[in-house]
Amino acid sequence: MKRLISSLARVCARHRWLTIAAWVIAVGALFGSAYLVGPALQDDLEVTGSDSQAAADLLEAADPGAGEDPAPTSRIVLAGPDLSAQENVVQDVIDRLEAATGESVANPLTDPVAATRAGTLAEGGDALMLTVVGDPKEQGRV
């Protein structure tokens, strides 16, 4: 086995460009065949008559919107020396985020003690986190 592997290594070393081309063709063929043969990925499988499908139907009847994806949220971190002294800058960022998303954004500096406990304001006041419903970058407004 050792002799076989060493002879294969020698052949690959002597014909390095042919070896690289063979690997590129093999990987391309593998991905191409997987693309052509493989099924499309789905997550909405229904198996009529199964207990799982009966349970899913009951849940859908009880709360029709439960299976939908929640609104995406974005978290923006602001950092700087003593942000509580720069409340006007923080408020300006919040105003711009609200204008971009159309949603309200809570200002952690209005109640620093609760914000520190919730983890949205750093202990020293040098960093804070804003949670925005929606993604301003995806909406093309920021």
Q: What is the pLDDT of residues 90-108, one digit of tens each?
A: 889 889 888 877 888 888 8
Residue 51: HSE in the Cβ half-sphere, 13 Å Cα cutoff: 0
pLDDT at residue 65 tops 70: no
Q: Where are the beta strands (DSSP E) in 1-142?
A: 73-79, 127-133
For the chain, what's the residue count? 142
Report the predicted TM-score, pTM, of the whole model to 2 decimal places. 0.47
pLDDT at residue 138 tops 70: no
If you average pLDDT over residues 15-34, what whole number do you get? 95
Reported as a pLDDT band with limits 50, 70 and 90, residue 17 is: very high
pLDDT at residue 53 tops 80: yes
C-beta of residue 59 within 8 angstroms of C-beta of residue 52: no
Buried b (16+ CB within 10 A) or exposed e, 91-127: eeebeebeebbeeebebbbeeeeebbeeebbbeebee
Amino acid 80: pLDDT: 83
When mean pLDDT is compared over 23-32, 73-82, 90-99, the highest value belongs to 23-32
By CB neighbour count within 10 A (0-12 exposed, 13-18 middle, 19+ buried), where does 49 fall? exposed
Radius of gyration of the chain (CA): 28
pLDDT at residue 69 tops 80: no
Give which of 114, 118, 112 is closest to 131, Cα–Cα: 118
C-beta of residue 122 within 8 angstroms of C-beta of residue 91: no
Please state, for a pLDDT cut of 70, what percent of the chain lies above it. Answer: 85
Q: How far apart are CA 57 and CA 42, in angstroms?
A: 18
Q: Which two tokens stand for residue 38?
A: 């493989």
β-strand partners of 76: 130
pLDDT at residue 142 tops 60: no
Higher-confidence position of 66 and 100? 100
pLDDT at residue 36 tops 80: yes
